[in-house]
Structure 1
Amino acid sequence: MTAGRIIAAGLVLLSAAALAGDRDERGPIIDVHLHAYGSDAFVQPSPNPVTGQVPELRSEAEHMQATLAAMHRYNIVRGYVSNDNSPLEVLRRWRAADPVRIVATPYFEGTPGSPLPAIAALRTEYAAGWLGAMGEIGAQYGGLSADDPKLAAYFALAEELNLPVGIHTGLAAAGTPYRCCPAFRVSLGNPRLLEEVLIRHPKLRLYLMHGGWPYLEDTKAIMNMYPQVYADLAVIDWIIPREEFHDYLRALLRAGLGQRLMFGSDQMLWPEAIGMAVEGIESASFLTPEQKRDIFYNNAARFLRLGEE
């Protein structure tokens, strides 16, 4: 081996050791909000809204491998992945690639591109044992309120099968009603709309995706009144201005909700968003190490009842 190769090999080993050290120091992470896509999503992929960089990924397989690599790098030991307007077969392939780490969970909106699935068919898939949760339910994109009768059977099924359910709350990309989803309305993202659902289904394990942002007061009200409701911090932990995110997170902590906040990345087409989301939590200097561990792992483990598996 030449001197140059020895040096190069040494640098690789040092980098690997440093990365392993970061993973050990950080501890395990549960990401409750990830997405899988078919290859058609990468024909003309949108740029990362923060960095402006267009993904170099050009296929479902490349996206999956890049996401799994990012999960390994940041010590994400469990990821809840939904199929975001792609066939369920995409989720089957992700789960097959890493059945220990990947939990498959169906996405639906009630839009032409993501219709509400037939309840009987959905029940069959759960009975087969390969789906582990429900959601993201993106009903807001289809112009549906959380308490719309069209969604009633899905919440009933989730309660019956004791499934954790993630529902989209808050906002979406700027201009959404002018592009993909003409029925999308900001008002439909208010967590307050879930109250009648929670009254009808007291055993439903539900989490507010995107933390209910920017509906702070209604998020605090719903979470304080209904202790079975948790929230993930997905997308707001990397896509909105950092100061705004930290102010929102601090307000939820002041309201006594620190043990019901869960880490999520919502990496979408950009696997690098996983690291950006992790940094969004780690850079919150007001969080104690214990609070960070709660957000990164403990709260989700409790909500998902991982110790009961």
Structure 2
Amino acid sequence: MLKTYGLIIVAISFTQLLKAQKKPLPVIDMHLHALGANDQGPAPQSVGAPFTDLGLNDPKDDFRKVFMKAVKTGMWADHHITSPTTDDSLRQMTLSVLRKNNIYAATSGEIEKVRRWKAEAPDRIMSSIQWTFGLEKAEGLTLDSLEKLFRSGEFKVFGEISIQYEGYTASDSAFEPYLAMAERLDIPVGIHVGPGQPGAPYVFATNYRARLHSPLVLEEALLRHPKLRVYAMHAGWPMLDDMLATLYTHPQLYVDLGVICYMIPTKEFYYYLERLVNAGFGKRIMFGSDNMIWPQSIELGIQTINKAPFLSPTQKRDILFNNAARFLRLTEKEIKAMHE
């Protein structure tokens, strides 16, 4: 009887061990969006994963129509992913990916939409505030209202700051009060510095400019707010030399790999990422999917990093988890809970 009981205990312990081993190591996604299915245009839409052509167009044609045809048909890519057709399916599919892959995500979007996603997956969603000058007017996201939201503890991250689409940089004086508020409250800030959709000023953002891709536009803001936690979204792609120089000059700056980890040609992404790592900045690179309406993009981004032949296992874990945990100042207790 005792022998049988002992065998049962061993079997239970072995089963529990197998379950523990099956759970993936945690990932922190610093760049996720809570959107509706039609927020990028009528669903469904297809996006290159990755694209093989980026913005191919004859100037006699209306690029807006060319681009919409490309994302409807996937014609600029050998492999593409297609978006869900309803808000509910988009939310449920995204949250399912987070749970399956043990992902914790800094998630921005309309305030009430983020709240709904958070209510459905409180252990996976880290609430963030997406912001532009346009949203300040449209949704009442004034300096005072933002400060109240952050002081309440409900929202943990200020970003994505997408003022590049409006022709502004983070160093512009108009944005200065918001950075001062974030520094005073010790709120991490994620700033869009890099690519929008191909041909953005010809499609929807008339003030968008390629020169604003450069991370050098962050310099004055970083110098004025040396205690501010800032990460450059999209790692400033494709302005590699500017990104290296900015990281070297401003040791507090981090980057995320949003969108470039799955959408641009893999060879180009690997070239860009390897240069950042080889230059000594592997401890300041964070995973970000920039998932908008394609939940599959999250897993594709993680797989691309895990398959990178030039990254060691330690470097992969740094990018997928450790660097973000440090940036967010997670406690040992919080980190342990994410691993359990």
Give the TM-score range, shorter chain. Answer: 0.7 to 0.9
Q: 1:118-171 deviations in whole A, cap 9, x for unaligned?
A: 101111111222100100001110111221111111111110110111000111
1:79 and 2:78 aligned: no
1:126 matched residue in structure 2: 150
Q: Residues 170, 203 of structure 1: CA spacing in aligned structure 2 closer, same or farther, 3 A cutoff?
A: same
**Distance in 1 separating the partners of 2:93 and 2:289:** 14
1:283 matched residue in structure 2: 307
1:39 shift after superposition: 5.4
Is 1:259–1:294's contact at 8 Å kept on the other side of the alignment? yes
1:69 and 2:99 aligned: no
Paired residue secondary structure (1:218): helix
**Distance in 1 separating the partners of 2:181 and 2:282:** 29
1:12 matched residue in structure 2: none
**Distance in 2 separating the partners of 1:184 and 1:139:** 9
Is 1:223–1:230's contact at 8 Å kept on the other side of the alignment? yes
Q: Residues 53, 230 of structure 1: CA spacing in aligned structure 2 closer, same or farther, 3 A cutoff?
A: closer
2:93 is aligned with what amino acid?
A: A
1:19 shift after superposition: 10
1:218 matched residue in structure 2: 242
Q: 1:204-223 deviations in whole A, cap 9, x for unaligned?
A: 10001001111111111111
Q: Which is further off, 241-250 or 42-51?
A: 42-51
1:38 is aligned with what amino acid?
A: G
Larger radius of gyration: 2
2:55 matched residue in structure 1: none
1:62 shift after superposition: 1.9
1:112 shift after superposition: 6.8
**Distance in 2 separating the partners of 1:215 and 1:301:** 26
1:114 shift after superposition: 7.7
**Distance in 2 separating the partners of 1:296 and 1:22:** 18
Q: 1:165-187 deviations in whole A, cap 9, x for unaligned?
A: 10001111112101111111111
**Distance in 1 separating the partners of 2:81 and 2:322:** 33
Paired residue secondary structure (2:189): strand
Is 1:167–1:208's contact at 8 Å kept on the other side of the alignment? yes
Residues 79-118 of structure 1 mapped to structure 2, 5 A cutoff: 79-83=105-109, 87-111=110-134, 117-118=141-142
1:56 matched residue in structure 2: 84
TM-score (norm 2): 0.79
1:194 shift after superposition: 0.6
**RMSD after superposition:** 2.2
Is 2:126–2:155's contact at 8 Å kept on the other side of the alignment? yes
Identity of aligned residues (%): 41
Q: Residues 111, 282 of structure 1: CA spacing in aligned structure 2 closer, same or farther, 3 A cutoff?
A: same
Residues 187-202 of structure 1 mapped to structure 2, 5 A cutoff: 187-202=211-226
1:21 shift after superposition: 5.5
**Distance in 2 separating the partners of 1:121 and 1:114:** 12
* Runs of 4+ deviating beyond 2 Å: 17-24, 38-43, 48-54, 109-117
Q: For this pair of structures, how many residues does the alignment match?
A: 286
1:48 shift after superposition: 2.2
1:55 is aligned with what amino acid?
A: S
Q: Residues 55, 187 of structure 1: CA spacing in aligned structure 2 closer, same or farther, 3 A cutoff?
A: same
Residues 258-269 of structure 1 mapped to structure 2, 5 A cutoff: 258-269=282-293
Is 2:37–2:83's contact at 8 Å kept on the other side of the alignment? no
Aligned with residue 33 of structure 2, among 24, 35, 40: 35
Is 1:170–1:214's contact at 8 Å kept on the other side of the alignment? yes
Paired residue secondary structure (2:47): coil
1:71 is aligned with what amino acid?
A: L
Any unmatched runs of 5+ in structure 1? 1-16
Q: 1:68-108 deviations in whole A, cap 9, x for unaligned?
A: 111122221x110010xxx3111111111122221111112
Aligned with residue 266 of structure 2, among 233, 236, 242: 242
Is 1:189–1:212's contact at 8 Å kept on the other side of the alignment? yes
1:52 shift after superposition: 3.8
1:169 and 2:193 aligned: yes
1:54 shift after superposition: 3.3
Paired residue secondary structure (1:41): coil
2:157 is aligned with what amino acid?
A: A
Q: Which is further off, 257-266 or 39-48?
A: 39-48
